[in-house]
Chains A and B, each alone.
Chain A
Amino acid sequence: MASEPGQVNDRLSFDRSSSRRKLTEAEKLYVASQWQLMWRRLRRHTLAIIGATVLAIGYLVALLAPFLSPYPINQRSDYLYMGPQKVRILHDGKLHRPFVYGLKQDVDPDTWRRVYTEDKSILYPINLFVRGFEYRLLGLIPGNIHLFGVPEGGVIFVLGTEDLGRDAFSRNLHAASISMSIGLAGVAFSFVLGCILGGLSGFYGGLVDVVVQRVIEFLTSIPTIPLWMALSAAVPPHWDPVKVYFGITLILSLQGWCGLARVVRGKLLELREEDFVVAAQVAGTSDWNIITTHLLPAFMSYLIVNVTLGIPGMILGETALSFLGLGIRPPTVSWGVLLQQAQNVRTVSLYPWLLAPAFMVIVVVLAFNFLGDGLRDAADPYAV
């Protein structure tokens, strides 16, 4: 029962109401864009979502570091190597708004070390949104409100203090903003360099490709840390912290771009031969359109994964260098700088809170790895 040319079979006629009905789940799947698909798959990855949440919180904290810190990072006090203070809500068995007790200093007769005990007769309530030292968020927005603080005469050292009596909590927050942002800065730089060189290499091939390949091979055969150490030692001691920051970023990115360049080159070479590219060329699409509309989306996901997984490497690199004294220098603090205090095993066993930066580094790096892994799985077009 063939249909005559021109005759539309009734059962297939266009049902106007059908265009207004809601898409079923299965249909939504078929029309979803690449990014929607990726997001769907990513959502199922609990670890990746946890990682992303942790990082979001982390970067928010880093951004608001001065606001969240009760003390400037280099302000000394008389309370040396004190452990974290306990924030209490019970006084004499009765509920009270959060507060800390005053402190008394004594010297332990046996070890000659300072001992701090709570003086239960003095109460310092914790106030929110107090006025404190001046700061500039992101170097631009001025302010002097801090999230919390205690009245005159009291101190609140949430994470304790270190050898010069400086507030570990404030220092850790500041360190977070430095260390976490260096990761981003370093990767941004590597990304640009990697995309350009990898792109040129992959798209044009020939001599450009050979040269870039050799350079990459060379750079990746040099052991990273010795090279970084040597280059960092060359950063002049009289440079101001900002210059040092960028200098370190540059050094870290020196080898960082190689990985990305390889991925970009590899993908371009692979995709150049794909039928859909040839089809686009045959259809008359310009080179630029081929790159942006056809090639780029195909490996954008790989780039994202690469970048996400590259950040922890930078953070770890900066931490290692600063730990050795060759990276970020005091008075600026980063996690590595803070960990210098934890070098001595005996010091750490006496004052374990000095390892707080270690814990933070691990959490942030883990979060990035979870997220990156989730992104990689989500981006894989062949995953079932």
Chain B
Amino acid sequence: MDNHDRLGGDALGVDGTLNPDEALIEIGGLKTYFYMHEGIVRAVDGADLTIRRGRTLGVVGESGCGKSVTAQSILRIVPPPGKIVEGEILYHRLLDRDKMGGATEIVDLAQLDPRGREIRRIRGGEIAMVFQEPMTSLSPVHTIGNQIIEAILLHQDIDKSQARERAIEILTRVRMPKPAQAVDSYPYQLSGGMRQRGVIAMALSCHPSLLIADEPTTALDVTTEAQILDLMRELQQEMGMAIMFITHNLGVIAEMTEEVIVMYLGKVVEQADVDSLFHDPKHPYTRALLRSIPRVDEDTNRPLESIKGMVPDPYALPQGCPFHPRCSSFMEGLCDIQDPPLVRLDGNKRVRCHLYV
């Protein structure tokens, strides 16, 4: 079926206001596998999630749970030997960019040619991505300005001098010190925080509707991290853009996001609003994660809680629920045989656990 035949509904609710639950990206049953020498790594193994327009979705989980690969799958930049094996990534694109709440068309990103024109139009122009390490994200032999202008010229129909102006403008907006100088600087001349601002500027230069941030502050010190997070929140408000915020840091999740999904071994195990997740976690894994955060008001004599066991070998995943070897609510005969389905609970919650089936 041709992608473009599916027109989504109007983004406007009945009373003409912006539908707060309107989906921007809907991922259904995504499976991205890596075909290695030693075996198949099922990095994403049936993930379902929704990113809503203008809102921030947090994606949290341990290393290796598939959060980054999910993000890469959206933009179709999964490195070989990885490929999307199954599933759909529905992108609800506004037909008229400036008309918030107008009609949309639906494009299945999973079906697009990863080298083709379509996805390239979307990359950078409509969906942008920011990575963890700002130093290695930027080319060492090109100026920041050069790299931002490249993005601008790719997606906007203006000339070079206008592009340069816009580059300086966006650098100013990300609070880059001395933007007119920074635009001609090389990455090695800037500090870590400045580089990350540059990377963010580059990503936002074409006003994307979604910013995917893959651990954007993990490599920064705490003060800089706070500044960058503040910046991202402000820009999000100004531009009305959605953010998919990937991190393993629960503190950042609490601060930045509105909705959260928790991933474990390639599957979404819980999805909830951020408050609900922290106050009433449902999945045993989420509970264990939250318990493991040290608290200021806790008794200092007690040992720190950790989740027992280890993340299993990706080539030898356990049968049934992937979390069962480490689960405190393990039910023999059920959890080690059957993989639980994703169950919808009241509110916006979803859990993948036999406890709720």
**Interface positions of A (Cβ within 8 A of B):** 1-2, 5, 9, 11-12, 24, 26, 29
Q: Which of B294-343 contact A (CB under 8 A)?
A: 303, 305, 308-309, 313, 315-316, 325, 328
Asked if residues A12 and B308 are in contact (CB atoms below 8 Å), the reply is yes
Which residues between 267 and 312 of chain B lie within 8 Å of chain A, taking CB atoms?
291, 303, 305, 308-309
CB distance from A21 to the nearest CB of B (A): 15
| Residue of A12, A26, A29 ringed by the most chain B CB atoms within 10 A | A26
Complex contact A26–B308 (CB within 8 A): no
Taking a contact as CB atoms under 8 Å apart, the answer to whether A1 and B309 are in contact is: no
Hey, which chain A residues are within 8 Å of B325, CB to CB? 11
B residues near A (Cβ < 8 Å) are 38, 291, 303, 305, 308-309, 313, 315-316, 325, 328
CB distance from B44 to the nearest CB of A (A): 19
List A contacts of B313 (CB < 8 A).
26
Taking CB atoms, residues of chain B closer than 8 Å to A29 are 38
B354 CB to nearest A CB, Å: 17
In angstroms, Cα B305 to Cα A2, docked, is 7
6 nearest A-B pairs in the assembled complex, by CB-CB distance = A1-B328, A26-B313, A5-B303, A26-B315, A9-B308, A2-B305
- State the CA gap A5–B301 with chains docked (Å): 11
> Are B309 and A12 interface neighbours, CB within 8 A?
yes
Q: Main SS of the interface on chain B? A: loop
**Across-interface contacts of B303 in A (CB, < 8 A):** 5
Complex alpha-carbon distance, A2 and B308, angstroms: 10
Starting from the known contacts A1-B328, A9-B308, A26-B315, 13 additional A-B residue pairs (CB-CB under 8 Å) come to A2-B291, A2-B305, A5-B303, A11-B308, A11-B309, A11-B325, A12-B308, A12-B309, A24-B316, A26-B38, A26-B313, A26-B316, A29-B38
Cα-based distance from A26 to B316 in the complex (angstroms): 9
- 16 intermolecular pairs with C-beta atoms under 8 Å apart: A1-B328, A2-B291, A2-B305, A5-B303, A9-B308, A11-B308, A11-B309, A11-B325, A12-B308, A12-B309, A24-B316, A26-B38, A26-B313, A26-B315, A26-B316, A29-B38
Residues from chain B with a CB closer than 8 A to the CB of A5 are 303
A13 to chain B, nearest CB (A): 12
Bound form: Cα–Cα A12–B307 in Å: 12
Q: How far is the CB of B335 from chain A (nearest CB, A)?
A: 13
Chain A residues with CB under 8 A of B291: 2
Query: Looking across the interface, which residue of chain B has its beta carbon closest to that of A25?
Result: B38
**How far is A11 from B305 in the complex, measured between Cα atoms in Å?**
17
Residue of A nearest to B39 (CB): A26
Residues of A within 8 A of B308 (CB): 9, 11-12
A32 to chain B, nearest CB (A): 13
Q: How far is the CB of B270 from chain A (nearest CB, A)?
A: 19
Contacts of A24 in B (CB 8 A): 316
Residues on the A chain within 8 Å of B328, using CB: 1
Question: What is the minimal beta-carbon distance from A141 to any residue of chain B, in angstroms?
Answer: 47
Chain A residues near B305: list those with CB within 8 A.
2
**Nearest residue, chain A, Cβ from B36:** A384
Contacts of A26 in B (CB 8 A): 38, 313, 315-316
B350: shortest Cβ distance to chain A, in Å? 24
Query: Which residue on B lies nearest to A5, using beta carbons?
Result: B303
Min Cβ gap A383→B in Å is: 11
Residues on A with C-beta less than 8 A from B309 are 11-12
A368 to B38, CA, bound (A): 29
How far, in angstroms, from A276 to B343 measured CA to CA in the complex? 47
How many angstroms between the C-alpha atoms of A1 and B308 in the bound complex? 11
In angstroms, Cα B308 to Cα A200, docked, is 49
- State the Cβ distance, B330 to closest chain A Cβ, in Å: 9
Residue of B with least CB distance to A12:
B308
Closest Cβ of chain B to A275, distance in Å, is 16
CB distance from A37 to the nearest CB of B (A): 13
CA distance A24 to B38 in the complex (A): 13
Q: CA separation between A2 and B292, bound complex, in Å? A: 11
Closest to A30 in B: B313
Which residues of chain B are within 8 angstroms of A11 by Cβ–Cβ distance?
308-309, 325
Give B110 Cβ to nearest chain A Cβ, in Å: 25
Q: How far is the CA of A11 from the CA of B303 in the complex (A)?
A: 20
Residues of B with C-beta under 8 A to A9? 308
Within the complex, what minimum Cβ distance (angstroms) separates B36 from chain A?
8
How distant is the Cα of A12 from the Cα of B310 in the complex, in angstroms?
11
- Within the assembled complex, what's the spacing in Å between the Cα atoms of A29 and B305? 30
**A2 to B38, alpha carbons, bound, how many Å?**
37
CA distance A2 to B288 in the complex (A): 10
Closest beta carbon of chain B to A297's beta carbon, Å? 25
CA distance A12 to B38 in the complex (A): 27
Q: How far is the CB of B234 from chain A (nearest CB, A)?
A: 36
Query: A29's closest neighbor in chain B, by CB?
Result: B38
User: CB-CB < 8 A to A12: which residues of B?
Assistant: 308-309
